[in-house]
Amino acid sequence: DMKVTQMPRYLIKRMGENVLLECGQDMSHETMYWYRQDPGLGLQLIYISYDVDSNSEGDIPKGYRVSRKKREHFSLILDSAKTNQTSVYFCASSLGTGGDSDYTFGSGTRLLVI
């Protein structure tokens, strides 16, 4: 069953705490992504990873970092979370980065920073 799994599904953190969002995929996809989705806005790219230890900043990387030590696993880390990082975070994967690649999205992690 080809899928992207995100953990946890829901998370509440206090401002200043560290946050770890996990993402796994079972399709051996090279490319993985982290997006955030806010009301009234399209998904915004935080980071993209082309393979193990090959990561690039997206459009809104400030306040975030990522880790990819295995092809099937991609983590998003918030060091000292801020209230404006309250959002829904989506992980996705694709075989390549071309427009004809199939993209598979996880179900999202809903993060509330208080």
Partner 1 sequence: KTQVEQSPQSLVVRQGENCVLQCNYSVTPDNHLRWFKQDTGKGLVSLTVLVDQKDKTSNGRYSATLDKDAKHSTLHITATLLDDTATYICVVVDRGSALGRLHFGAGTQLIVIP
73-78 β-sheet, strand order: 4-7, 19-25, 73-78, 65-70
Question: Please, which residue, 49 or 85, has the CB nearer to partner 1?
Answer: 49
Q: How far is the CB of 32 from partner 1 (least distance, A)?
A: 12
Both structure tokens of 8: 């946890």
Instruction: Write the Ramachandran bin of 39: left for phi over 0, alpha for psi from -120 to 50, otherwise beta.
Output: beta
Q: Which residues pair with 110 in a beta bridge?
A: 10, 88
Based on the shown chain and the rule CB under 8 A, indicate whether residue 24 belongs to the binding site for partner 1. no
Number of Cα atoms under 13 Å in the Cβ half of residue 84: 4
Q: How far is the CB of 3 from partner 1 (least distance, A)?
A: 9
> Are 87 and 39 spatial neighbours (Cβ–Cβ below 8 Å)?
no
Q: Which residues pair with 67 in a beta bridge?
A: 75
Based on the shown chain and the rule CB under 8 A, indicate whether residue 97 belongs to the binding site for partner 1. yes
Question: Please, which residue, 43 or 52, has the CB nearer to partner 1?
Answer: 43
Question: Please, which residue, 14 or 42, has the CB nearer to partner 1?
Answer: 42
Question: Please, which residue, 45 or 52, has the CB nearer to partner 1?
Answer: 45
Which candidate, 30, 20, 14, places its Cα nearest to that of 92? 30
Question: Which region, judged by CB under 8 A, interacts with partner 1, from 16-24, 61-69, 75-83, 95-103?
Answer: 95-103
Based on the shown chain and the rule CB under 8 A, indicate whether residue 67 belongs to the binding site for partner 1. no
User: Quick one: which of 23, 46, 90, 93 contacts partner 1 (CB under 8 A)?
Assistant: 90
